[in-house]
Chains A and B, each alone.
Chain A
C-alpha cells in the first residue's frame, strides 16, 4: 500500500509569485484535503476535493485554489503570495468524504517560505 506523497519538500518563493503544490493520495483513497500549518499551531483546513469536485472550503481567500485529477491526485495553487503564506502545507487523503469512516492520513508536507 502506497502512502500519501507530496512534492516538493521545500520551496522558497518571493512575495507576489504563484506556487503549485502536488499531492498523491494513498492507494484506494478518493478524497484529498489540504491544510496549512503555521509554526506552533494546529493545521487549518483549506479545502477538500472529492471525485474531482471541491467538497468544502475553510476560511481562505480565493487566491488559494485547487484541483483533483481522475487518479485522485491533487494540486494546491496559491496566487499573489504573501509573507503570511509561509507555512507547512499538508495534504491528507481519506477513503470517503463523509460519514464516520473519515480517518485522514497526512503526507509529509511541503514547507513553503515566502520572502
Chain B
C-alpha cells in the first residue's frame, strides 16, 4: 500500500462547477496535511494546509480532514480554466523533516 494515495485522473469538470480532489494516507499518526498545485513544467505551489479535523476554507478552496478515516480532500468552488493543473497531496507523518507526496491528480476545467 502506498503511503499517500490519490487518483491520478484526469478529473474533468466544467467551468463554474465544484472540483473534489481526494487523498488517503496510511500512517495513522500523521499530523499535518498539505495541498500543492503544480502547473505543467513548474514547481509545486502551496495552496492549503490543515492540521485539525474538519474543514478549513480559504477563498474558493476548502480542505477537509478526517483523521479517523485517514482521508483528506480539497474542494475547489467555482472552478476556472486557470485551475487546470496537477494537485498534489502531501503528508507530514511525524512532525519531522519530510513530506510524503501522492502522485497527484490532474484536474482539467473545461470552459
Contacts and interface: CB of A to CB of B under 8 A. Distances in A.
Interface string A35-71: 1000011111101101000011010000000000000
A76 to B, nearest CB: 15
A50 B95 CA distance: 14
B34 interface: yes
Given A40-B103, A108-B43, A102 B98 contact: no
Given A42-B101, A55-B97, A98-B96, A108 B42 contact: yes
A89 B95 CA distance: 23
Contact of A102 (B36, B45, B92, B104): B92
Interface in B72-111: 88, 90, 92, 95-104
Contact of A56 (B32, B96, B101, B103): B96
B103 A41 contact: yes
Interface residues of B, number: 25
Interface string B14-44: 0000000000000000011010100000111
Interface pairs A-B: 7 shortest CB-CB: A56-B97, A42-B101, A48-B97, A45-B98, A106-B43, A109-B43, A42-B103
Interface of B: 4, 31-32, 34, 36, 42-46, 49, 51, 88, 90, 92, 95-104
Interface of A: 31, 33, 35, 40-45, 47-48, 50, 55-56, 58, 88, 90, 92, 97-100, 102-109
